[in-house]
Amino acid sequence: MPVAGIAALSTRFTMAFGNKIRDFHEKREKLLRGGSKQTVEKQKAMGKLTARERINRLLDKDSFTEYDLFVKHAVHDFDMGDTSLPGDGVITGTGTVDGSPVAVYAQDFTVAGGSLGLMHSRKITKIMDYALQMRMPLIGINDSGGARIQEGVNSLAGYGEIFFRNTMLSGVVPQISVILGPCAGGAVYSPALTDFVFVVDNVSKMFITGPEVIKAVLGEEIAMEDLGGARVHSEISGNAHFFDEDEEECFARIRKLLAFIPGNNSEKARVLKAEEPLADHGIDSIVPDDPTLPYDVRDVIKAVVDSSGFFEIMENFAGSIVIGFGRIEGRTAGFVANQPLEMAGVLDVDSSDKAARFIRFCDAFNIPVITFVDVPGYLPGADQEHAGLIRHGAKILYSYSEATVPKITVILRKAYGGGYIAMGSRHLRADFVFAWPAAEIAVMGPEGAANIIFRKEIMSSGDPEEMRRQKIREYRKKFANPYVAASEGYIDAVIEPSETRKYLVHALRVTENKEIQLPPKKHGLPPF
């Protein structure tokens, strides 16, 4: 071909190519904008970020790679055939947090209320499969009215596929759910199957049936916030693990959480530089001499962890137990501690659930469990018995017994009855148990015990009150100390409070390569 012919062809080709590129840019720009101008404005007016902004703020800068932007919705009834639903209402892809890979999806409320149709669900399940196969955490940002009504059983099928995968991923990779809008039906059941749920004040709503259905079925009016707002789920229901004032704070906290945990169950959490605790926590003076006086057990935790601090989980729910992560010599540990500030640190239905689930997370993801004990026992009363204290309380026994990660327990003060056994005792296979000199390890507290075993002496005495006081003193001297348990070998050492970090460092180093096997079985039956 003559040179002029080649040049003409090349120009035509360049123009065609240029047109295609332009066309591609136009199509992509349109899809990247998400919903209509009005729906985006409505989203903003509610103080919410858009789905794309959320992903960009959560992940490392420029690390997000999106998949399936051009996926089209699958519904053709209800005049929706020609409707454009950009990305079918969800953005999916992978990116990094602090350089580590994560799979992420964000539902786009500006597109059909983020409702979940078949293709929307396929986009999510594709990245769930990636997360499982590539062993990276999954983060789901939920802002959705649930199953897309127009798609009927296909949207239910979509949720079923998600729930199945949530279950398959459970214990293999960490799963994090963020609730950033009114989430109904399937949009809350999937989060309920994941490890950590984040909510934001005034933005997050979670419910199975919304106010309109409640009004229709029960004839009752209830505001969405009161039914399932962020405070409800972080303080009352226990469905949420983290509460934040705004979305930025929430994303910062997710990043912080990810720094404490490994990316999958075959790894250990990243080891940071070892640091000493912040100096201003005088551990010797935290626990009052009088065993009836409260103190904040978080001060004890802060006094032993590295200066990177204590990262508390579920801090507004079931306050009689404290759970969270801290580092010792740069390595992550999970802390479970009775909280004497709240109901004297008693175990009840909710605190049992809270602790048991956390222990199982730590066990699944190779995180040692450190337990601080100051527990008067399980909470007595008909309310708790009727709420299933036996079943819920048994979860702690099960979780500690089943956990094969290093388990280190420090008895700070009271360790009475079932509480003593449940809180990571030697009998549930703690690797190390230490006790402070003020520890009281007994079947029950001196007051209750003296009333029962010395009843006859007290009743027949000329001065029953004086006799009662004397018997309480006697009982306290004989049993309410750590030395009976130490003489049986149930605790390894009685230590001074100021020696606690040193002993924990030792125990963590010794147990670093711990390996034990549970009896072979398909699975056990924890008291769900």
Point out which residues bind ligand HXC (CB under 6 A). 39, 112-113, 115, 145-150, 156, 159, 182, 184-186, 189, 210, 212
Nearby residues of 394 by Cβ (< 8 Å), 6 or more positions away: 527
Q: Shortest Cβ distance from residue 186 to ligand HXC (Å)? A: 3
Whole-number minimum distance, CB 160 to ligand HXC, in Å? 8
Is the Cβ of residue 105 or residue 159 nearer to ligand HXC in the bound state?
159
CB of 480 to ligand HXC, least distance (A): 50
Report yes or no: 201 and 230 within 8 Å, Cβ to Cβ. yes
Q: Which is nearer to ligand HXC, 128 or 444 (CB)?
A: 128
CA distances 449 to 142, 376, 444, 475, Å, are 52, 13, 6, 8
Do 400 and 368 touch, CB atoms closer than 8 A? no
Are 300 and 372 within 8 A, CB to CB?
yes
Please state the closest distance from residue 502 (CB atom) to ligand HXC, in A. 50
Based on CB atoms, which residue is closest to ligand HXC, 124 or 344?
Answer: 124
- Report the residue number, 189 or 483, with the smaller CB distance to ligand HXC: 189
**Closer to ligand HXC at the Cβ: 159 or 311?**
159
Asked whether the CA dihedral 293, 503, 406, 490 is positive or negative, the reply is negative
Closer residue to ligand HXC, CB minimum distance, 115 or 204? 115
Question: By C-beta, is 116 or 321 nearer to ligand HXC?
Answer: 116
Residues 6+ apart with CB under 8 A from 417: 377, 378, 442, 443, 444
Q: Let me know how long the chain is.
A: 528
Q: Are 182 and 205 in contact (CB under 8 A)?
A: yes
CB of 431 to ligand HXC, least distance (A): 41
Kindly tell me which of 115 and 384 has the beta carbon lying closer to ligand HXC: 115
Give the dihedral sign, CA 154/156/157/163: positive
State the nearest-atom distance from the C-beta of 79 to ligand HXC, in Å. 11
State the nearest-atom distance from the C-beta of 38 to ligand HXC, in Å. 8
Task: Say if residue 423 is exposed, middle or buried (CB neighbours under 10 Å; 0-12, 13-18, 19+).
Answer: buried
DSSP single-letter state for residue 381: S
In angstroms, give the least distance from the CB of 240 to ligand HXC: 18
Instruction: Using the minimum distance from each CB to ligand HXC, give the nearer residue, 185 or 229.
Output: 185
Three-class SS state of 439: coil
Q: What is the DSSP letter of 235?
A: I
8 A C-beta contact, residue 416 and residue 376? yes
Distance (Å, whole) CA 446 – CA 481 = 11
Query: Closest approach of Cβ 39 to ligand HXC, in Å?
Result: 6
* DSSP secondary structure letter of residue 49: P
